[in-house]
Amino acid sequence: GENVEQHPSTLSVQEGDSAVIKCTYSDSASNYFPWYKQELGKRPQLIIDIRSNVGEKKDQRIAVTLNKTAKHFSLHITETQPEDSAVYFCAASSTGGFKTIFGAGTRLFVKA
């Protein structure tokens, strides 16, 4: 079945450094790739998404890249701040499908 693998499971960086989280997906029909941030005890919230007709998208300090051939997509956070500390989930879905499949999450710690 559909599967989304996410690495690393835990990431610790110094404030101001960059953080990169990588995901792979199995369903070649996937064409929509959202990223969610979940703070402790709170709901997952969308931070950025990318569609398969685009290779890269940027929003201030956050960027996402997509390699459809390799079925890889990545989240890049630059100039990390302590408030970036949270769990980040990648996900994949397809037009015509219903499910959004989530990765297992990456717990990001940003040390001040």
Q: Rounded to whole angstroms, how far apart are CA atoms 109 and 54?
A: 29
Q: Which stretch of DSSP H or E encloses residue 102?
A: strand 101-102
Nearer to other proteins, 16 or 55 (CB): 55
- Give the C-alpha distances (Å, rounded to integers) separating 72 from 25, 62, 65, 89, 112: 7, 17, 8, 14, 31
Torsion of CA 39, 44, 46, 52, to 10 degrees: 120
- Closest to other proteins by CB, 98 vs 112, is 98
Q: Which residues bind other proteins (CB under 8 A)?
A: 6, 31-32, 34, 36, 42-46, 49, 51, 89, 93, 95-105
Nearer to other proteins, 18 or 95 (CB): 95
Q: Which is nearer to other proteins, 29 or 111 (CB)?
A: 29
* Residue 52 C-beta: closest distance to other proteins, Å: 9
Task: Please state the closest distance from residue 22 (CB atom) to other proteins, in A.
Answer: 15
User: Could you check whether the bond before residue 8 is cis, i.e. omega within 30 degrees of 0?
Assistant: yes
Q: How far is the CB of 47 from other proteins (least distance, A)?
A: 10
